């Protein structure tokens, strides 16, 4: 049986189903779904079964395969199950199969541990930003775009020099194509403007963020990669004496958390983060781990004088 994920021209039902499903998505989402679909197809290839002939019990066994053989954690299995459900749902909607065998497929319960979601508070982020200013213009622009205006790392790495010179209603703005291919205008505070202008230097076009040949040498012409961005963030965080596993996405989480700490409303923070659902924005708020504002103290202080 062929793997439809790597076939350009679909000739079989599985190939048609896979390409039809993947064609609905783009970029990193499509690539992630492609990998999950390949894992599913490889599993049934090994059993000699057409994946479109799978039954619900077979898919339950696939879930056990993910847990026991591939050693996936519950959250990963739950994510894979969601993708598999969508694959079979669309195969049914496209009249490729008579019904979806994954309709009642159960995903393992998982409860995210907030303590594993790293972020930087106001003073830590300030220290990293100050260090980046002394380190490299690319470092400062990267930290500013992630931590001060909350860009996703993919958005920051895609910024072109031509994208941030427009002025709209008196505000200098950055034009980005965000998640879901949605265009957005991002107002740029003065500190972010200075950092981005410094990174651009005398260049008038091309990618803003370039990868240094080393941290002291002149810049090369290679655009900064996700890996290079992650390494740069870890290097700066380490230099500031912060003992935490900070990633580029941690800085976006820091942007949202510090916004709430600064008194920004949920409505405005959701707009700044460009989330469709306010629950997404609330999920990024790490101040829930801050015991300084825990209601226990307010209730105790209110009752104690009457006791």
Percent above pLDDT 70 for the chain: 92
The pLDDT of residue 106 is 92
Least confident of 81-95, 133-147, 291-305: 291-305
Q: What is the mean pLDDT of the segment spanning 164-193?
A: 94
Distance of alpha carbon 25 from alpha carbon 33, whole angstroms:
9
Distance of alpha carbon 5 from alpha carbon 16, whole angstroms:
10
Residues of the chain with CATH 1.10.150: 13-111
Residues of the chain with CATH 1.10.443.10: 122-276
CATH number for the domain formed by residue range(s) 13-111: 1.10.150
Sign of CA dihedral 11, 12, 14, 16: positive
Class level of CATH domain 122-276: mainly alpha
Contact predicate 240/131, CB 8 Å: yes
Q: What is the mean pLDDT of the segment spanning 252-263?
A: 95
* Model confidence band, residue 3 (pLDDT cutoffs 50, 70, 90): low
Mean residue pLDDT of the chain comes to: 91
pLDDT at 2 over 50: no
Residues facing residue 185 across a β-bridge: 175
Contact predicate 118/253, CB 8 Å: yes
Contact predicate 126/96, CB 8 Å: no
| Residues 37-44: contacts with CB under 8 Å, at least 24 apart | 37/4, 37/5, 37/83, 37/87, 38/3, 38/5, 38/6, 39/66, 39/70, 39/80, 40/84, 40/87, 41/1, 41/3, 41/4, 41/5, 41/14, 42/3, 44/1
The pLDDT of residue 7 is 46
pLDDT: which is higher, 287 or 225: 225
pLDDT at 184 over 50: yes
**pTM for the full model?**
0.77
């Amino acid at each position: 049986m062929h793997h439809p994920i790597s076939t350009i021209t679909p000739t079989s039902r599985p190939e048609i189903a896979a390409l039809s499903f993947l064609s609905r998505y783009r970029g990193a989402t499509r690539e992630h779904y492609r990998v999950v679909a390949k894992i599913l197809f490889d599993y049934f290839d090994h059993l000699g079964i057409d994946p479109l002939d799978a039954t619900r019990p077979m898919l339950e066994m696939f879930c056990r395969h993910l847990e026991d053989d591939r050693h996936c954690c519950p959250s990963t299995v739950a994510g894979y199950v969601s993708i598999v459900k969508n694959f079979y749902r669309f195969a049914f909607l496209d009249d490729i199969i008579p019904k979806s065998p994954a309709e009642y497929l159960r995903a393992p319960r998982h409860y995210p541990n907030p303590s594993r979601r790293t972020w930087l508070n106001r003073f830590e982020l300030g220290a990293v930003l100050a260090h980046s200013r002394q380190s490299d213009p690319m470092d400062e622009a990267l930290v500013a775009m992630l931590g001060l205006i909350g860009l996703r790392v993919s958005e920051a790495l895609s910024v072109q020099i031509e994208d941030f010179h427009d002025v709209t209603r008196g505000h200098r703005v950055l034009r980005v194509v965000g998640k879901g291919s949605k265009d957005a205008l991002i107002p740029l505070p003065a500190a972010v403007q200075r950092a981005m202008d410094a990174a651009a230097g005398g260049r008038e076009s091309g990618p803003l963020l370039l990868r240094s040949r080393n941290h002291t040498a002149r810049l090369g012409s290679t655009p900064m990669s996700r890996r290079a961005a992650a390494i740069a963030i870890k290097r700066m965080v380490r230099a500031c004496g912060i003992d935490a596993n900070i990633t580029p996405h941690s800085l976006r989480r820091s942007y949202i958390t510090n916004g709430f700490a600064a008194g920004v409303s949920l409505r405005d923070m959701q707009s700044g983060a460009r989330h469709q659902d306010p629950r997404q924005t609330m999920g990024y708020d790490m101040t829930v781990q801050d015991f300084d504002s825990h209601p226990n103290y307010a209730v105790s202080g209110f009752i104690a004088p009457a006791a």
